[in-house]
Amino acid sequence: MKILVIGGGGFVGFNLVAEMVARGHEVTVLGRRAAPVRPLPPVVTYVQGDLTDRGGLLAQLAGVDAVAHLASSTVPSTGDKDPIADVQVNLVGTLTLLEAMSEVGCKRLLFVSSGGTVYGVPQSIPIEETERLNPICSYGIVKVAIESYLDLYARAAGLSHVTIRASNPYGPHQGNTGVQGVIGTFLQRAQEGRPIEIWGDGSTIRDYIYVSDLCHLCVEAIESPRTGTYNGASGHGTSLMHIVDIVREVTGRQLDVLHRPGRGFDVPTSILGIEKARHDFHWKPRVGLREGVSLTWRWLRAGMVD
Amino acid sequence: MKILVIGGGGFVGFNLVAEMVARGHEVTVLGRRAAPVRPLPPVVTYVQGDLTDRGGLLAQLAGVDAVAHLASSTVPSTGDKDPIADVQVNLVGTLTLLEAMSEVGCKRLLFVSSGGTVYGVPQSIPIEETERLNPICSYGIVKVAIESYLDLYARAAGLSHVTIRASNPYGPHQGNTGVQGVIGTFLQRAQEGRPIEIWGDGSTIRDYIYVSDLCHLCVEAIESPRTGTYNGASGHGTSLMHIVDIVREVTGRQLDVLHRPGRGFDVPTSILGIEKARHDFHWKPRVGLREGVSLTWRWLRAGMVD
């Protein structure tokens, strides 16, 4: 397939593009920067562009079979600082993409949503896709609105979309500056011999998925004719303090912890049910947490930081 | 109280302002037009302004005790035509208001949401406030996002908001050009001796509330210290064909019906539970449907069309 990946310069996007190329797809990446932060495979075309630029999107959509949309200008911890910008870039941007896709007749869309924020404080664990959506941060509010609009465009314009609600992906090529995920950040700090900061007491439980497992699911999903919404996760929960223990074990380094006050946008426990994805895509996560942390540490130690 | 009413030039807003004035409040109305469509009471100050103009909002918020926000540039049947504009004006506009209120320290907000669209196709009837939110039109998606942001600003900025999810209000001063509600439109057509159009077979059931009943609830809500979300409705359902019968009876006119294909944004049945509002505000709807239609017809016959 000829696939346009929007946000393909990001952490998950970069890994997804690699997987798509390996599966023989022809990939163009649209990113906001003049050049990709992470060097893309030579067979991939990179185009600088903005999700809110309809003309630019129309030009790139010509002849495209499917779009993978992973772009976001925010992460859960930054969206609340400027909700107007969050809406302007990410919600209006996505609507601009949907309008452009309608205009050129491109129907197939993979959207990577946020399993960690759309549900808010869940009513049951593991969280199934049918759980009530009740986001408590701007990032999640925008993702929920986007998901609603995808259904609206499916009814009104024949959009065929499959949405993957990703939990907490980690692995090679993740940013490690403290905003994009704890595992990359902790490993980086371990390497540097610097302490880490933990918001709250470290009991917060999250569902960490190794990025290649998530990307396998995304490619299965976009290649299939299926539509609808799927959790993309490991199905297991791990506390922050247990992550610290694993990082200490894997790296053999001391890792001092500074505790900071809890953050309003952190829900206490988030573990996603993955039976729907398992069943419909004959998929399952293959890389366990300790193995994934080891692989990420090996990548970091090899100096392959982007 | 000194109250700023945003969208006070609209149908519900106009009636709400009259009720606020009758209760002794000092009211300023902010509207998009150079002059209000419906002539406001002389004691009310009218200011032209835009919800997305932060500077203008800041100027009007000085010394204000509470804000009533009823502004919308769309109705359920028009939002889907241009979702980007819907988001830009109504969601970004509301966020701009919330930012401005935070900046000046104005904490109290009444928001009129949409009980007819935020729930989508309901799982049970009557629909209680705890029902899952699953909007199927842009108008409803935007209202849901706004409601989520109100909760976020409550946690992050101390906003004290009370939200009324209105069902289908009708009564004097409603527009009758076909977009704002069937009762006003049907009465107008009866008066003119013209046929009406009905989308679908007329079995669609809605919860119609006389506008003064809704406005009584809104004023009780904004005057109270309560926060949270309440349905503002009659608690009763009436089919479209039954509305036609009532209009025929009340007006004594023949009313020919042209049936049109059903619309995607119409849910089959919407009846809202009102026990929470009854209990917390010692409020109940006082005007029955036949009486309300009669009062509206009398107003229309008296030539008091705005």
In a domain, A96, yes or no: yes
Same domain? For B132 and B181 the reply is no
pLDDT of residue A177: 65
Mean pLDDT of B12-27: 97
pLDDT in tens, B141-173: 999 999 999 999 999 999 999 999 999 999 999
Q: What is the pTM of this model?
A: 0.94
Contacts of B87 in chain A (CB under 8 A): 87, 91-92, 95, 145
Residue numbers of the domain that contains A229: 2-169+208-234+275-281
| Nearest-angstrom CA–CA distance, A73 and A194 | 28
Q: pLDDT confidence of B132, banded at 50, 70, 90?
A: very high
Contacts of B263 in chain A (CB under 8 A): none
In a domain, B41, yes or no: yes
List the beta bridge partners of residue B210.
B170
Query: What's the sign of the alpha-carbon dihedral B107, B112, B118, B124?
Result: positive
Mean pLDDT of B19-33: 96
pLDDT in tens, B35-57: 888 889 999 999 999 999 999 99
In a domain, B125, yes or no: yes
Same domain? For A28 and A39 the reply is yes
Distance from CA of A94 to the nearest CA of B (A): 9
CB nearest to A141's CB, from B134, B136, B145: B145
Same domain? For A83 and A220 the reply is yes
Q: Which helix (H) or strand (E) holds A145?
A: helix A138-157
Q: What percent of chain B has pLDDT over 70?
A: 96
pLDDT of residue B92: 97
In a domain, A147, yes or no: yes
In residues, how long is chain B? 306
pLDDT value at B306 more than 60: no
> Widest CA span of chain B, in angstroms?
56
In a domain, A306, yes or no: no
In a domain, B306, yes or no: no
Which residue matches tokens 């349905």? B231
pLDDT in tens, chain A (306 residues): 999 999 988 899 999 999 999 999 999 999 999 988 888 999 999 999 999 999 999 999 999 999 999 998 888 878 899 999 999 999 999 999 999 999 999 999 999 999 999 999 999 999 999 999 999 999 999 999 999 999 999 999 999 999 999 999 999 998 766 566 899 999 999 999 999 988 888 999 999 999 999 999 999 999 999 999 999 999 999 999 999 999 999 999 989 999 888 766 567 899 999 999 999 999 999 999 999 999 999 999 987 555
Q: pLDDT confidence of B73, banded at 50, 70, 90?
A: confident
Same domain? For B99 and B243 the reply is no
pLDDT of residue A267: 76
Query: What's the sign of the alpha-carbon dihedral B44, B146, A85, A68?
Result: negative
Q: Please answer yes or no on whether A152 and B145 come within 8 Å at the CB atom.
A: no
Burial class (CB in 10 A: 0-12, 13-18, 19+), B62: exposed
Cβ partners under 8 Å of residue A41, min gap 6: A17, A18, A21
Number of domains in chain B: 2
Same domain? For A17 and A161 the reply is yes
In a domain, B42, yes or no: yes
Contact B295, B171 (CB under 8 A): yes
Contacts of A137 in chain B (CB under 8 A): 152
Distance from CA of A217 to the nearest CA of B (A): 26
Mean pLDDT of B123-137: 95
Q: Please answer yes or no on whether B136 and A155 come within 8 Å at the CB atom.
A: yes
The two beta strands, A238-239 and A205-206, are: antiparallel
pLDDT value at B3 more than 90: yes
Same domain? For A147 and A25 the reply is yes
Same domain? For B75 and B217 the reply is yes
> Which CATH number fits the domain that encloses residue B17?
3.40.50.720
| Nearest-angstrom CA–CA distance, B16 and B111 | 12
pLDDT of residue A270: 93
Same domain? For A86 and A227 the reply is yes
> Which CATH number fits the domain that encloses residue A190?
3.90.25.10
Structure-derived torsion over alpha carbons of residues A230, A234, A239, A244, reported in degrees to the nearest 10:
-130
pLDDT of residue B71: 92
Same domain? For A58 and A194 the reply is no
Same domain? For B96 and B149 the reply is yes
Same domain? For A189 and A248 the reply is yes
Same domain? For B245 and B101 the reply is no
pLDDT of residue B265: 57
Q: What amino acid is encoded at B145 in this protein?
A: A
